[in-house]
């Protein structure tokens, strides 16, 4: 365990102006607060916050962050209070401790819910001060270093959570050294056998190749030095988990591993980076497809470097990373390399992280958080992004947009701006009109075509892969669904008033809202529309007598309502379905029957089935079609065709249907005789007019005896 003076000396070694009094005070306060508390390992509990503070000194964090690390568990695990922390250490440190305390253990329904809620709280705490993230990551790192004292089931759960959240989050924030250590510690818990095999293989390769690697390093250094460039070269061995990922990704055996070693060339500036690449590429052959320039196009976490793979001396495959000293600092310390410096005038710590690309990614997560109702949904969307590789694409003006691999133009549109995503109706990729479901590849130039009247369909949520796109689509569709339910609820109230009351003008709907504890008439209507308030409760709230029907039922059926519910089709977000075996298309006069808790079933107003519902007319819902003419959504219409049993008859029928820009979706041979066939054909059409046009064209064929449309 690090001693008090050792911790302070470590901080002073990189920050000569650090507040020694503050650090001493925090050390003593935390040690007394935790007292004789013990960890599961049997060690004094105070050893944990002390080691967390020690980890943060490796990232050269300011004295306030180190003090907070020492104090971070005091409010949650001791009798200390936030007000006491504020009085002794000031508002800044109290705010950091408060942020960390909010991420404490929660007694929720399930471990999945707890994990999601903790992650949500972590991000909210980070939004106030990004140093909370650094302390939390260091806290998790020390917990993983000491995890072996825990029971196996608890070890497995914590390791999986760390692998799912904290390791990739450290990577996204650019703290690569911490990510690699977290992954290795988790790998040892989750799959110890695989890790052991890989370590044995690495040991064998090291024994065989150590001398060769030293020669390669020397030859690299001498060749670059001869060109007048001073560099530092470090040998770099891949981590066990990174090797395991490669084995899984490429489906290769452990024995096939060869390129597990690489070299890192550290230069003085960016210009020298490109000179070094030129030198090594002239001297040795480069492996095609293995050159990546993250200097001109940095990763989302601000990582910059040039990666290349060479066939070096003795035909040895060499992986090379070339970067400047500044880039190396960012690669090792990530967010911490940007985060903190002292204002020379006030002495206050200034947070610069918001200017970095890594923080912009974090800020996008916080924007998504505002749109999500469920922590679980947000968590799942975010986990997808944490693990994804990247593709780089461009706007027509040359702006670079970084997206997860597998992203579509829908993700691109929302990445550029939420409004562009909401209004997106099409795209051009590299000048060619392309489907919005196209997977983007590196270097694509994407033009988004917008329409101010357009709204994203809910089906896009299944196509998009970025959390921002998914949450934006879900948010706008929730608003649309709420409005539709509200219209539906309004119609239900109108029908009840028409059926049970002679006078519906003097109903105080605000009073009805208060009876159900609703804030607005729109919210009340939506609740009624969803079937959460049944007719009996509604009649009681409206002071209507269920037994007293004052109007004739026929009035309801004939009445035309101003607020018909718009229906797009079976893909509507409302719980809507067509009646069994129906083939209704836009242009048909339709109505709906509401079954509370189940949704709406659509029927044709001219269907014989409509008579069945004459005694339930208060459940009738007036429907209108809401079909976008430009979208050209097909609906299935059914016809019965009697045609001559002769060669080519079916081909002629298919030709007419195709010529009229329709599609045969299903065909059944209903009956067959010597002279005639009877066919049931489902045809994908735009609307009733389109279907009638096809029927007319079919009737002109000499092989056709009869064509009849079937709607039910």
Instruction: From 205, 266, 261, select the one nearest 235 (Cα to Cα).
Output: 261
For 346-367, what is each residue's pLDDT tens digit? 444 444 555 565 566 666 666 6
Q: What is the CATH number of the domain that holds 674?
A: 3.30.70.260
Residues 159 and 207 in one domain: no
Write down the pLDDT at residue 234: 85
Q: What percent of the chain shows pLDDT beyond 70?
A: 77
Asked if the model's pLDDT at residue 213 lies above 70, the reply is: yes
Q: How far is CA 365 from the centre of its chain?
A: 9
343 φ, ψ (degrees, to nearest 5): -75, 120
What one-character DSSP code corresponds to residue 438?
A: P
Please report whether residue 426 resides in a domain: no
232 - beta bridge partners? Answer: 266
- Residue where a domain stops, chosen among 333, 360, 390: 333
Global pTM?
0.61
The answer to whether 225 touches 233, Cβ cutoff 8 Å, is no
Region 222-227: mean pLDDT is 90
Residues 20 and 166 in one domain: yes
- More confident of the two residues 182 and 624: 182
Q: Which domain holds residue 528?
A: 475-625
- Residue where a domain stops, chosen among 579, 603, 625: 625
- Residue where a domain stops, chosen among 175, 204, 238: 175
Residues 11 and 160 in one domain: yes
Please report whether residue 422 resides in a domain: no
Give 108's pLDDT tier (boundaries 50, 70, 90): very low
Write down the pLDDT at residue 662: 92
Q: How many domains does the chain have?
A: 4
Which span out of 250-259, 390-399, 477-486 was modeled with the highest average pLDDT? 390-399
- What b/e readout covers 128-152, taking b as 16+ CB neighbours within 10 angstroms? ebbbbbbbbbbbbbbbbebbeebee
Write down the pLDDT at residue 656: 93
Average pLDDT, the chain: 80
Write down the pLDDT at residue 658: 92
Instruction: From 710, 708, 682, 698, select the one nearest 649 (Cα to Cα).
Output: 698
Please report whether residue 358 resides in a domain: no
Residues 327 and 203 in one domain: yes
Q: How far apart are CA 304 and CA 338, in angstroms?
A: 14
The answer to whether 590 touches 605, Cβ cutoff 8 Å, is yes
Write down the pLDDT at residue 618: 60
- More confident of the two residues 273 and 607: 273
Give 128's pLDDT tier (boundaries 50, 70, 90): low
Residues 586 and 669 in one domain: no
Please report whether residue 662 resides in a domain: yes
Instruction: From 345, 366, 339, 349, select the one nearest 95 (Cα to Cα).
Output: 349
Please report whether residue 690 resides in a domain: yes
The answer to whether 184 touches 241, Cβ cutoff 8 Å, is yes
Write down the pLDDT at residue 27: 93
| Weakest mean pLDDT among 354-358, 463-467, 648-652 | 354-358
Asked if the model's pLDDT at residue 502 lies above 80, the reply is: no
Residues 36 and 168 in one domain: yes
Give the position of tokens 């880039």. Answer: 327
Q: What is the CATH number of the domain that holds 32?
A: 1.10.3210.10
Region 283-300: mean pLDDT is 85
Q: How far apart are CA 208 and CA 145, in angstroms?
A: 31
Tokens linked to 532: 């959460």
Please report whether residue 648 resides in a domain: yes
Q: What is the CATH number of the domain that holds 309?
A: 3.30.460.10
- More confident of the two residues 243 and 501: 243
The answer to whether 72 touches 49, Cβ cutoff 8 Å, is yes
Give 563's pLDDT tier (boundaries 50, 70, 90): very low
Please report whether residue 449 resides in a domain: no
Residues 615 and 680 in one domain: no
Please report whether residue 287 resides in a domain: yes
Q: How far apart are CA 133 and CA 204, in angstroms?
A: 39
Asked if the model's pLDDT at residue 558 lies above 80, the reply is: no
Residues 529 and 611 in one domain: yes
Write down the pLDDT at residue 344: 41
3-state secondary structure of 350: strand
For 20-66, what is each residue's pLDDT tens digit? 999 999 999 999 999 889 988 888 999 999 999 999 999 888 899 99
| Weakest mean pLDDT among 87-91, 97-101, 353-357, 632-636 | 353-357
Residues 640 and 621 in one domain: no
Residues 168 and 200 in one domain: no
Q: What percent of the chain shows pLDDT beyond 90?
A: 26
Tokens linked to 518: 């609703």
Q: How far apart are CA 443 and CA 401, in angstroms?
A: 10
Asked if the model's pLDDT at residue 561 lies above 50, the reply is: no
Write down the pLDDT at residue 348: 43
The answer to whether 310 touches 318, Cβ cutoff 8 Å, is yes
Which span out of 252-266, 376-390, 447-461, 477-491 was modeled with the highest average pLDDT? 447-461
Write down the pLDDT at residue 345: 39
Residues 565 and 651 in one domain: no
Residues 156 and 206 in one domain: no
């Amino acid at each position: 365990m690090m001693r008090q003076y050792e911790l302070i000396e470590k901080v002073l070694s990189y920050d000569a102006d650090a507040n020694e009094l503050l650090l001493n005070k925090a050390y003593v306060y935390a040690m007394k607060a935790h007292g004789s508390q013990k960890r599961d390992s049997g060690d004094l509990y105070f050893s944990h916050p002390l080691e967390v503070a020690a980890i943060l000194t490796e990232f050269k964090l300011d004295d306030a962050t180190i003090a907070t690390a020492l104090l971070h568990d005091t409010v949650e695990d001791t009798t200390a209070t936030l007000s006491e922390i504020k009085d002794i250490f000031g508002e800044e440190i109290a705010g950091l401790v408060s942020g960390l305390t909010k991420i404490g253990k929660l007694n929720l329904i399930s471990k999945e819910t707890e994990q999601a809620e903790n992650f949500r709280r972590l991000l909210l705490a980070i939004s106030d001060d990004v140093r909370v993230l650094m302390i939390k990551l260091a806290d998790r790192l020390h917990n993983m270093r000491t995890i072996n004292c825990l029971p196996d089931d608890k070890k497995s759960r914590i390791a999986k959570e760390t692998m799912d959240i904290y390791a990739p989050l450290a990577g996204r924030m650019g703290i690569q050294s911490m990510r690699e250590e977290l992954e290795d510690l988790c790998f040892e818990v989750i799959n110890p056998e695989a890790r052991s095999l890989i370590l044995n293989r690495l040991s064998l390769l090291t024994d065989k190749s150590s001398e060769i690697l030293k020669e390669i390093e020397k030859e690299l250094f001498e060749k670059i030095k001869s060109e007048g460039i001073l560099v530092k070269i470090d040998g770099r061995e891949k981590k066990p988990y990174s090797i395991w990922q490669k084995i899984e990704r490429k489906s290769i055996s452990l024995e096939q591993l060869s390129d597990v070693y690489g070299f890192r060339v550290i230069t003085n500036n960016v210009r020298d980076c490109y000179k070094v690449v030129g030198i090594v590429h002239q001297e040795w052959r480069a492996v095609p497809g293995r050159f990546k320039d993250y200097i001109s196009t940095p990763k989302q976490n601000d990582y910059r470097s040039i990666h290349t793979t060479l066939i070096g001396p003795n035909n040895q495959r060499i992986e090379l990373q070339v970067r400047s000293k500044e880039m190396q600092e960012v690669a090792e310390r990530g967010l911490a390399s940007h985060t903190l410096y002292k204002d020379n005038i006030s002495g206050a710590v200034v947070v610069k992280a918001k200017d970095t690309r890594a923080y912009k990614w974090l800020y996008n997560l916080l924007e998504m958080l505002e749109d999500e109702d469920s922590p679980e949904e947000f968590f799942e969307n975010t986990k997808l992004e944490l693990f994804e590789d990247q593709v780089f694409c461009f706007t027509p003006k040359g702006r670079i947009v970084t997206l997860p691999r597998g992203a579509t133009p829908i993700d691109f549109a929302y990445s550029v701006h939420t409004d562009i995503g909401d209004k997106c109706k099409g795209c051009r990729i590299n000048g060619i009109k392309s489907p919005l479901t196209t997977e983007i590849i590196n270097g694509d130039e994407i033009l988004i075509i917008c329409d101010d009247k357009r709204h994203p369909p809910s089906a896009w949520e299944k196509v998009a892969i970025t959390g921002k796109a998914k949450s934006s689509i879900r948010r706008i569709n929730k608003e649309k669904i709420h409005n539709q339910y509200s219209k539906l609820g309004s119609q239900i109230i109108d029908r009840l008033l028409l059926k049970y009351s002679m006078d519906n003008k003097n109903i105080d709907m605000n009073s009805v809202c208060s009876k159900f504890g609703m804030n607005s008439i729109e919210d009340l209507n939506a609740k009624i529309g969803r079937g959460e308030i049944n007719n009996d409760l509604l009649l009681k709230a409206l002071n209507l007598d269920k037994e007293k029907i004052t109007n004739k039922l026929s009035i309801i059926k004939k009445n035309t309502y101003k607020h018909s519910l718009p229906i797009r089709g079976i893909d509507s977000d409302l719980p809507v379905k067509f009646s069994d075996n129906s083939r209704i298309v836009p242009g048909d006069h339709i109505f709906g029957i509401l079954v509370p808790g189940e949704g709406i079933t659509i029927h044709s107003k001219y269907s014989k089935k409509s008579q069945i519902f004459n005694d339930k007319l208060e459940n009738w819902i007036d429907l209108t079609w809401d079909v976008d003419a430009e979208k050209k959504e097909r609906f299935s219409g059914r016809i019965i065709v009697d045609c001559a049993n002769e060669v080519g008859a079916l081909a002629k029928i298919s030709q007419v249907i195709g010529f009229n820009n329709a599609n045969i979706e299903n065909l059944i041979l209903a009956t067959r005789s010597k002279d005639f066939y009877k066919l049931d054909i489902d045809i994908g059409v735009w609307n009733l007019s389109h279907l009638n046009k096809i029927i007319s064209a079919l009737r002109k064929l000499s092989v056709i005896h009869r064509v009849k449309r079937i709607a039910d």
